[in-house]
C-alpha cells in the first residue's frame, strides 16, 4: 500500500510546478506575431536557409532576456516600467515613454495588419474592415482579463498559441526541409545588404521590446504574494525558468518552421515577397487545406498578439507615466494608425517588415536598463545575475546594437 502512495506524493511538487506556468506563454505570443510571419517567409523565400542562424541566436537571446524580465517582477514585485518610472526624472521618463510607445505602436501595426490579411485570405474581407474586426475581437479577448483575471486570459492565449503552432507547422509535414541546407544555415553570414535588413527585421520580430516590458508585469501579477517565503520564491523562480524555456522553445520552433517552410516550398517562386503571394504558393504546392490551416494560424496570431500588445502598452504607460486607462480604450486608440495605413493602400507585407525593423531599434532601450537592474544587488539581493549570465546578456546587447548600427549605416549610405 505504501508503495502505491509514494508516486502520488512524488508527483505533487511537479503538479504544483505546472500550476505556476503561464506568464511566459502569454509573452511568447509576441514572438509568433504576424510580423514574424512576414519577416520569416520573406527570408526563407528570398535566401533559402541562409538566415536560420539569426532565428536560433535570437531565440537564445529571447530566453535569456525574458527570464530576466520575469525574475525582476517576481523578486521585486515591480515591473520594468515601474522601476524605470521611479528612477527617471520627469523629462527623461516622458521621453523614454515616447520611444516605448512608438515601439508598441509598431507592434500593434504588425498584429492588426496581419490579422486583416488573414481575414482577406480566408473570406476575401477588405483589409480595412478586416483590421476593424481584428480590433473588435481583441477587445473581447482583453475583456476576459478584466472580468475573469490573468489565469483565464492565459488560458485563452495558450489555446490560440496551439492554433498558431498547428497553422504554421502543418506545411512542414508535406514539405520537409533539406537537412544539409538547414545545417548550412546555422553558419553566421549574410548575402548582401538586403539580407542585413531582413536579419534586423527578424531580430526585431523575435526579441520583442514590448514583451520584455510586459513579462515583468505578468510575472509580478501572477506570483507576487505577501506570503512568499525565501523557499517559495526560489521555487517560483525555478518554475519561471521552466516556463520561459518551454514557451520560447515552442515559439522558436514556430519561427524556424516558417522560415524552413518558405525555403523548402517558396524558393524561386514569383510573388512570394508578400504574405498573400506566399499563401498562394503554399496552396499551389501543398494544397488548399494546408493554405487554409496556414491562414487560420495567421488569424490566431493576429488576434492573440494584438491583445497582448495592447496589454503591454497599458503596462508601459502605467509604469512610466502613472496613467492607467481601460484596456479597451487603449485598444481603440492604438487601432487607428493600422486602420489608416490599411485604408490608404500601403503594401501590408512591406509595412509588417518595416515595423519589425522599428522594433529592433527599440530593443536596447528595454534591454540595457533590464540588465542593469537584474545585475544590481541592491535591487535583486541574493537573486542578482551571476557573472556568466551578465556576460551573456552583455554579449547579446553588443550584438543587437552592432546589427542595428550596421543597418543604420547601410540605410544612410543608400545601400539598404
The model's pLDDT over 158-198, given as tens digits with 9 standing for 90+, comes to 899 999 999 999 999 888 999 999 999 999 998 887 888 78
**Which residues have C-beta within 8 Å of that of residue 48, sequence separation ≥ 6?**
181, 185, 263, 267
Dihedral pair phi/psi, residue 84, rounded to 5°:
-70, -40
How many helices (DSSP H) and strands (DSSP E) are in the chain?
Answer: 18, 0
How far lies 315's CA from each of 72, 111, 366, in Å? 15, 18, 13
Q: What is the mean pLDDT of residues 218-230?
A: 79
Q: Are 112 and 335 within 8 A, CB to CB?
A: yes
Whether the pLDDT of residue 16 is over 70: the answer is no
193 or 372, higher pLDDT? 372
Whether the pLDDT of residue 327 is over 60: the answer is yes
Distance CA 162, CA 305 (A): 13
Whether the pLDDT of residue 119 is over 80: the answer is yes
Distance CA 274, CA 121 (A): 12
H or E segment and range at residue 223: helix 209-223
**Which residues have C-beta within 8 Å of that of residue 328, sequence separation ≥ 6?**
139, 142, 143, 146
46 or 404, higher pLDDT? 46
Cell numbers placing 261? 517552410
Instruction: Classify burial at 5, counting beta carbons within 10 Å of its beta carbon; exposed 0-12, middle 13-18, buried 19 or more.
Output: exposed
* Whole-number pLDDT of residue 3: 43
DSSP letter for 31, please: G
Distance CA 215, CA 204 (A): 17
Nearest by Cα to 312 from 217, 223, 244: 217
The model's pLDDT over 265-300, given as tens digits with 9 standing for 90+, comes to 887 777 777 788 889 888 988 899 999 999 999 999
Q: What is the mean pLDDT of residues 239-243?
A: 93
How far lies 204's CA from each of 46, 83, 199, in Å? 19, 24, 8
Whether the pLDDT of residue 81 is over 90: the answer is yes
**3-class secondary structure per residue, 67-94:** HHHHHHHHHHCCCHHHHHHHHCCHHHHH
Least confident piece of the model among 120-124, 231-235, 378-382: 231-235
Confidence of residue 109 (pLDDT cuts 50, 70, 90): confident
pTM exceeds 0.75, yes or no? yes
Distance CA 20, CA 186 (A): 34
DSSP letters, 275-338, are HHHHHHHHHHHH-HHHHHHHHHHHHHHHHHHHHHHHHHHHHHHHHHH-----HHHHHHHHHHHH
Confidence of residue 377 (pLDDT cuts 50, 70, 90): very high
Confidence of residue 143 (pLDDT cuts 50, 70, 90): confident
DSSP letters, 194-215, are HHHHHHHHHHHHHS-HHHHHHH
* Whole-number pLDDT of residue 147: 73
The model's pLDDT over 123-142, given as tens digits with 9 standing for 90+, comes to 999 999 999 999 899 888 88
- Measured over the CA atoms of residue 246, residue 248, residue 249 and residue 253, the dihedral's sign is positive
* Whole-number pLDDT of residue 148: 63
Q: What is the mean pLDDT of residues 392-407?
A: 79
- Measured over the CA atoms of residue 289, residue 291, residue 294 and residue 296, the dihedral's sign is negative
Which homologous superfamily is 40-412 in?
Amino acid/polyamine transporter I (1.20.1740.10)
Q: In the chain, pLDDT over 70 holds for what percent of residues?
A: 90
Confidence of residue 248 (pLDDT cuts 50, 70, 90): very high
Whether the pLDDT of residue 354 is over 90: the answer is no
| 3-state SS, residue 343 | helix
Instruction: Of 17-26, 144-153, 353-362, give the range with the top mean pLDDT.
Output: 17-26
Whether the pLDDT of residue 11 is over 60: the answer is no
* Whole-number pLDDT of residue 326: 80
The model's pLDDT over 42-70, given as tens digits with 9 standing for 90+, comes to 889 889 999 999 999 989 988 998 999 99
Distance CA 135, CA 116 (A): 10
Q: Tell me what the pLDDT averaged over the chain comes to.
A: 85
Amino acid at each position: 500500500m505504501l508503495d502505491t502512495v509514494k508516486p502520488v506524493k512524488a508527483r505533487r511538487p511537479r503538479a504544483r510546478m505546472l500550476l505556476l506556468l503561464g506568464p511566459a506563454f502569454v509573452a511568447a505570443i509576441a514572438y509568433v506575431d504576424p510580423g514574424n510571419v512576414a519577416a520569416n517567409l520573406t527570408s526563407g523565400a528570398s535566401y533559402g536557409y541562409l538566415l536560420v542562424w539569426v532565428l536560433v541566436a535570437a531565440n537564445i537571446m529571447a530566453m535569456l532576456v525574458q527570464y530576466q524580465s520575469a525574475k525582476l517582477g517576481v523578486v521585486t514585485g515591480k515591473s520594468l516600467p515601474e522601476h524605470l518610472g521611479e528612477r527617471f526624472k520627469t523629462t527623461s521618463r516622458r521621453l523614454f515613454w515616447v520611444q516605448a510607445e512608438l515601439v508598441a505602436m509598431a507592434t500593434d501595426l504588425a498584429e492588426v495588419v496581419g490579422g486583416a490579411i488573414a481575414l482577406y485570405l480566408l473570406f476575401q474581407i477588405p483589409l480595412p474592415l478586416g483590421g476593424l474586426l481584428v480590433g473588435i475581437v481583441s477587445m473581447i479577448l482583453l475583456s476576459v482579463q478584466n472580468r475573469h483575471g490573468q489565469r483565464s486570459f492565459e488560458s485563452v492565449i495558450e489555446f490560440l498559441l496551439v492554433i498558431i503552432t498547428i497553422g504554421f507547422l502543418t506545411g512542414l509535414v508535406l514539405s520537409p526541409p533539406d537537412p544539409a541546407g538547414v545545417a548550412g544555415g546555422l553558419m553566421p553570414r549574410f548575402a548582401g545588404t538586403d539580407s542585413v535588413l531582413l536579419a534586423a527585421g527578424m531580430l526585431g520580430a523575435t526579441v520583442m521590446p514590448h514583451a520584455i516590458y510586459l513579462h515583468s508585469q505578468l510575472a509580478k501579477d501572477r506570483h507576487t504574494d505577501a506570503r512568499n517565503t525565501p523557499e517559495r520564491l526560489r521555487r517560483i523562480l525555478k518554475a519561471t525558468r521552466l516556463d520561459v524555456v518551454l514557451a520560447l522553445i515552442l515559439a522558436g520552433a514556430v519561427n524556424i518552421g516558417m522560415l524552413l517552410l518558405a525555403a523548402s516550398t517558396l524558393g524561386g517562386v514569383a510573388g512570394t515577397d508578400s504574405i498573400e503571394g506566399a499563401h498562394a504558393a503554399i496552396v499551389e504546392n501543398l494544397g488548399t487545406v494546408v493554405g487554409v490551416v496556414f491562414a487560420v494560424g495567421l488569424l490566431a496570431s493576429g488576434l492573440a498578439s494584438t491583445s497582448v500588445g495592447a496589454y503591454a502598452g497599458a503596462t508601459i504607460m502605467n509604469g512610466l507615466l502613472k496613467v492607467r486607462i481601460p484596456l479597451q480604450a487603449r485598444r481603440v486608440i492604438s487601432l487607428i494608425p493600422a486602420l489608416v495605413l490599411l485604408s490608404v493602400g500601403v503594401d501590408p507585407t512591406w509595412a509588417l517588415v518595416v515595423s519589425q525593423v522599428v522594433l529592433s531599434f527599440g530593443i536596447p532601450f528595454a534591454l540595457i536598463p533590464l540588465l542593469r537592474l537584474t545585475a544590481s544587488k541592491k535591487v535583486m539581493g541574493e537573486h542578482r545575475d551571476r557573472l556568466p549570465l551578465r556576460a551573456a546578456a552583455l554579449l547579446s546587447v553588443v550584438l543587437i546594437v552592432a546589427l542595428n548600427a550596421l543597418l543604420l549605416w547601410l540605410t544612410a549610405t543608400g545601400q539598404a
